[in-house]
């Protein structure tokens, strides 16, 4: 996705050989025009999958998730990182380790929002080690639903998440794959 690649080059900040900061357009301030195009591209890539839910994780997955759900005309659910007082017993819970934040969170989704037979598209902003995507997939599977695919805005292809998800049998579509973050610059990987 050329528009996204250009945004990464123009506005992304390489903080280390492991961390790319994209807070000016993806996960703090959001570019709505870019997010609309992200939603369209995920919809194009997963055409024919008969999806009826989009699932993401708060908070950085919400923008690409909602725009994808809007294009697909299906509901979007986001897994919460903090327990809500209104979410009590009827929830799915998974532990997810965040590479960027170096912490483990319990994520929760109310059971009423994912039903057996649902075909769910998981959307997330970044893919590093795959922890968030695996946690979301486990929630979908606990519900008796199917993970129809996993859409990632930016994959750090030099980390194992994409490979591990594919080896586990999931279809992964990354809009941009980063091969390296060396010497303060982004090098893109070839798309699969």
Query: What are the pLDDT digits (tens) for 28-37?
Result: 899 999 999 9
Q: Stretch 60-82: mean pLDDT, rounded?
A: 95
In this predicted structure, the answer to whether residue 192 has a pLDDT above a threshold of 60 is no
Query: Please, are residues 22 and 12 in contact by the beta-carbon 8 Å criterion?
Result: yes
Do residues 136 and 55 touch, judged by C-beta distance below 8 A? yes
The per-residue pLDDT for 103 is 85
Strand partners, 31: none
Residue 76 has pLDDT above 70, yes or no: yes
Nearest to 175 by CA among 123, 139, 130, 99: 123
HSE-up of 35 (CA within 13 Å, CB side)? 22
Return mean pLDDT, the chain: 93
pLDDT number for residue 191: 67
Given a contact cutoff of 8 angstroms between Cβ atoms, the answer to whether 173 and 151 are in contact is yes
Looking at residue 187, what is its pLDDT? Answer: 96
Please say if the pLDDT value at position 86 is more than 70: no
The pair of structure tokens assigned to 136 is 């979301």
Query: 100 versus 137: which is more confidently predicted?
Result: 137
Instruction: Report pTM.
Output: 0.94
Cα separation of 121 and 140, whole Å?
10
Q: Which of 91-106 are b and which e, b meaning 16 or more Cβ less than 10 Å from the residue's Cβ?
A: bbebebebbeeeeebe
* pLDDT for res 21: 95
pLDDT given for residue 153 in this prediction: 98
| Band of pLDDT at residue 190, cut at 50, 70 and 90 | confident
Can you tell me the distance from the alpha carbon of 103 to that of 96, in angstroms, rounded to the nearest whole number? 8
Give the residue-averaged pLDDT of 160-173. Answer: 98
Q: What is the pLDDT of residue 81?
A: 86
Collapsed DSSP state (helix, strand, coil) of residue 102:
coil
As to burial, measured by CB atoms within 10 angstroms (0-12 exposed, 13-18 middle, 19+ buried), residue 111 is: middle
């Amino acid at each position: 996705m050329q528009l996204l690649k250009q945004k990464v080059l123009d506005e992304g900040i390489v903080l280390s050989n492991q961390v790319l900061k994209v807070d000016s357009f993806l996960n703090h301030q959001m570019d709505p025009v870019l997010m609309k195009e992200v939603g369209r591209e995920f919809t194009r890539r997963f055409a024919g999958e008969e999806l009826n839910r989009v699932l993401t994780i708060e908070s950085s997955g919400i923008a690409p998730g909602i725009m994808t759900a809007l294009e697909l005309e299906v509901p979007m659910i986001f897994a919460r990182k903090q327990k809500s007082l209104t979410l009590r017993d009827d929830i799915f819970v998974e532990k997810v380790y965040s590479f960027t934040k170096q912490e483990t969170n319990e994520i929760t989704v109310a059971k009423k929002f994912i039903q057996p037979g649902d075909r769910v598209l998981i959307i997330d902003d970044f893919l590093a080690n795959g922890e968030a995507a695996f946690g979301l997939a486990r929630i979908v599977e606990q519900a008796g639903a199917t993970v129809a695919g996993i859409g990632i805005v930016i994959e750090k292809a030099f980390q194992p998440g994409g490979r591990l998800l594919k080896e586990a049998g999931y279809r992964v579509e990354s809009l941009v794959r980063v091969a390296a973050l060396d010497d303060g610059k982004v090098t893109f990987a070839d798309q699969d």
